[in-house]
Amino acid sequence: MSLSQGKNTFQSRSRAAIEDPKLRANFLSAMDGLMSKRDQAFEDKAQLERLRILGAQVRQNALVKLPELLVELETKLTQKGVQVHWAQSPEEAVDIIKAISLNVGAKNIIKGKSMVSEEIHLNEKMAEIGVRCLESDLGEYIIQLAKETPSHIVMPAIHKNTAEIADLLHEKTGIERKEDAIYMTEQARLQLRKNFMAADIGLSGVNFAVAETGTLCLVENEGNGRLSTTVPKTHIAIMGIEKVVEKLEDVTPLLSLLTRSATGQAITTYFNMISGPRKENELDGPESVHLVLLDHGRTQMYQDDELLETLRCIRCAACMNHCPVYTRVGGHAYGFTYPGPIGKILMPHLEGLDETQALPTASSLCGACAEVCPVKIPIPDLLVRLREESNNENRQTSRVKGAGVKRHGIEPIIWSMWRWWHQGEKRYNFMTSMMAQFRFLQPKTLSPWTHYRSLPKLAKKTFHQQMKERQVRINRQAENLKATSKGEKL
């Protein structure tokens, strides 16, 4: 195998995660909880299926019309005084946000949860120009204090248990060490309130953007998203270009699917629909609102009918909650912003297959992810597609960045031999019957399989041989029968 055996690979990180019993226990219990909550939230499975079909249609419909819808969204938002910016790369997005910050003389940014801001590594980039970004979602706040990245796209601090968080908050913020989630939540509220008041800019993500009305929708439970988008004088929203939907009513099935798939909630505490900055006479809300539209590999997926389906994602995380691999290795092992099944089909487009080649291979293709996906993304098929792209001989013609990265070494030769072996009846039967005949030569170990498992024993006779001999016996019996009956007649 042509896998790099370096220290910081997916393989090494996942191995380390598997050997960490505390981490595995944290993920196991969290994912079990999330799976059962989702299951309870969708009592009526036939209704769920109909809703999933509608969800997938609404997203697919929006993607087919994406260029027009983006222009419509921009027009509607601009009419209401929202400034729309476009960025092809994370660098461009960061530059836009830096420019806005410099323009308003910002020192502090308070952030609502935004995976796109993680994608562009905003916090560290803003620190370069002396602007401090503070996460206000409790989970994000915790991992920011721990100088970590989210291990889950909905529950960023899910890899930590209460005791670990108690240690962290005690050490970093000086509060009393109490293993009490309610106490710690109250302390975080007090610590963060001052920061909402002092922030110059509030930054948020976007769950859905409605072209028809020019509306940015945010889904949240804590209220930090509302505070971030209401208290500071400037609000910057950032989203991937795929997040737009055509009509306002399109958000209703998606919202219902999103919250139930994610956390089993019928709805989150807040569904916040923003359609513009503070109007004259209004007493609160940001005076200026900016929307940053980010490409970062999304137009690459858009070029291909099959890969396009990746863009239907509404970031509910049900795929990772139900993934037997994610449950065992956790989010950090993946090494990229989006972990789990969706990460495996998304990150290769964002970072290139050359950087992410292990991701599409890290799946047994069990299909649990596609089964729960609220917008019916065929994740296993897309994983296979990316495996094909990794082996693509014609890397120039492929639309996927980094395609053909694995087209070297012995693997393609092995598969050519495999093909030759299975193409002909005689050679196949010769080889398999030889294997059966010389089964005593079968090795006892075949790494890495036998590291954890014994090898099954080759049968004395292959199925082909047994069926052939059986046919011979049946034919002989038939002949004998014919001969006997002939004899009787004589």
Partner 1 sequence: MSEAGATVVKLYPVKPAKVYVFGTCLVDLFYPESGMAGVMLLEHAGVDVVFPQAQTCCGQPAYTSGYKKEAREIALVQMGIFTEPYPLLIPSGSCGGMMKTHYPRLFEGTEHYEQAKAFSERIFELTDFLVNVCDLSLEDQGSKTTVALHTSCSSRREMKTTDSGKALLSQLRNVNVVEPEKATECCGFGGAFSVRHPEISNAMVQDKVSHLTSTGANSFLSSDCGCLMNIKGAAEKQQETKALRAGEHLLSFVARRAGLTIDDGVNL
Partner 2 sequence: MTARSAILEKLTQAAKIRAGEGNKIPNRPDFCVMERDVMDLTSLCNQFETVISKVNGEVIRTSEENLVICIQQLLQDKQVKCLLLPSAHEFQETLAKSVEEILLYDREIEQWKDQLFNNIDASITSTLGGIAETGSLVLWPSLEEPRLMSLVPPIHIAILHKKDIQPTFWHFMKRHNWSQGMPTNALLISGPSKTADIEQTLAYGVHGPKELIVLLVE
User: Which parts of 390-429 interact with partner 1 (CB under 8 A)?
Assistant: 390-391, 406, 412, 415-416, 418-419, 421-423, 425, 428-429
Asked if residue 443 lies in contact with residue 435, where contact means CB atoms within 8 angstroms, the answer is no
Asked if residue 17 lies in contact with residue 24, where contact means CB atoms within 8 angstroms, the answer is yes
Footprint of partner 2 on 198-237 (CB under 8 A): 212-215, 221-224, 226-227, 230-231, 233
Letters for 268-287 (x = contact with partner 2 by CB under 8 A, - = none) are xxxxxxxxxxxx-xxxxx--
Asked if residue 144 lies in contact with residue 135, where contact means CB atoms within 8 angstroms, the answer is yes
Is the bond into 448 cis (omega within 30 degrees of 0)? yes
Angle between helices 411-423 and 425-437 (to 10 degrees): 100
Footprint of partner 2 on 7-46 (CB under 8 A): 26, 30, 33-34
Task: Name the binder of 41 from partner 1, partner 2, none, CB < 5-8 A by kind.
Answer: none
Q: Which of 123, 144, 356, 462 binds partner 1 (CB under 8 A)?
A: 462
List strands edge to edge, sheet with 234-240. Answer: 82-87, 288-294, 234-240, 201-204, 108-111, 132-135
> What minimum distance in Å lies between the beta carbon of 435 and partner 1?
6
Q: Which is nearer to partner 1, 159 or 226 (CB)?
A: 159
Letters for 97-136 (x = contact with partner 1 by CB under 8 A, - = none) are ----------------------------------------
Q: Which is nearer to partner 2, 224 or 363 (CB)?
A: 224
- The rounded distance, in Å, linking the Cα atoms of 114 and 120 is 10
Q: Which of 83, 191, 361, 398 binds partner 1 (CB under 8 A)?
A: 361
Task: Name the binder of 147 from partner 1, partner 2, none, CB < 5-8 A by kind.
Answer: none
Question: Any contact of residue 7 with partner 1 (CB under 8 A)?
Answer: no
Footprint of partner 2 on 120-159 (CB under 8 A): 136-139, 142, 155-158
- The rounded distance, in Å, linking the Cα atoms of 239 and 274 is 14
Q: Which is nearer to partner 1, 88 or 398 (CB)?
A: 398
Segment interacting with partner 2, rule: CB under 8 A, options 266-274, 346-354, 458-466, 469-477: 266-274
> What minimum distance in Å lies between the beta carbon of 267 and partner 1?
23
Q: Sign (positive/negative) of CA torsion 118, 326, 305, 407?
A: positive
> What minimum distance in Å lies between the beta carbon of 102 and partner 2?
19
Footprint of partner 2 on 62-91 (CB under 8 A): 64-67, 70-71, 80, 86-88
> What minimum distance in Å lies between the beta carbon of 218 and partner 1?
28
Which residues are CB-contacts of 473 (< 8 A; sequence separation ≥ 6)? none
How many of the other CB atoms lie within 10 Å of CB of 408? 10
Asked if residue 260 lies in contact with residue 38, where contact means CB atoms within 8 angstroms, the answer is yes
Footprint of partner 1 on 431-460 (CB under 8 A): 432, 435-436, 448-460
Q: Which is nearer to partner 2, 131 or 188 (CB)?
A: 188
> What minimum distance in Å lies between the beta carbon of 383 and partner 1?
9
Q: Which of 54, 115, 384, 458 binds partner 2 (CB under 8 A)?
A: 54
Which helix (H) or strand (E) covers residue 39, if one does? Answer: helix 21-41
What region, left, alpha or beta, does residue 297 occupy, with left being phi > 0 and alpha being psi -120 to 50 degrees? left
- The rounded distance, in Å, linking the Cα atoms of 154 and 321 is 10
Asked if residue 212 lies in contact with residue 178, where contact means CB atoms within 8 angstroms, the answer is no
Segment interacting with partner 1, rule: CB under 8 A, options 74-82, 111-119, 324-332, 480-488: 324-332
- The rounded distance, in Å, linking the Cα atoms of 218 and 225 is 8
Size of the site for partner 2 (CB under 8 A): 96
Alpha-helical runs (H) found in 287-424: 298-302, 318-321, 324-329, 340-351, 353-356, 368-372, 379-390, 411-423
Footprint of partner 1 on 46-65 (CB under 8 A): 46, 48-50, 53, 56-57, 60
> What minimum distance in Å lies between the beta carbon of 72 and partner 1?
24
Task: Name the binder of 1 from partner 2, partner 1, none, CB < 5-8 A by kind.
Answer: partner 1
Question: Any contact of residue 465 with partner 1 (CB under 8 A)?
Answer: yes
Going by the DSSP 8-state scheme, the letter that residue 338 receives in this structure is S
Q: 474 burial class (0-12, 13-18, 19+ CB within 10 angstroms)?
A: exposed
- The rounded distance, in Å, linking the Cα atoms of 324 and 303 is 31
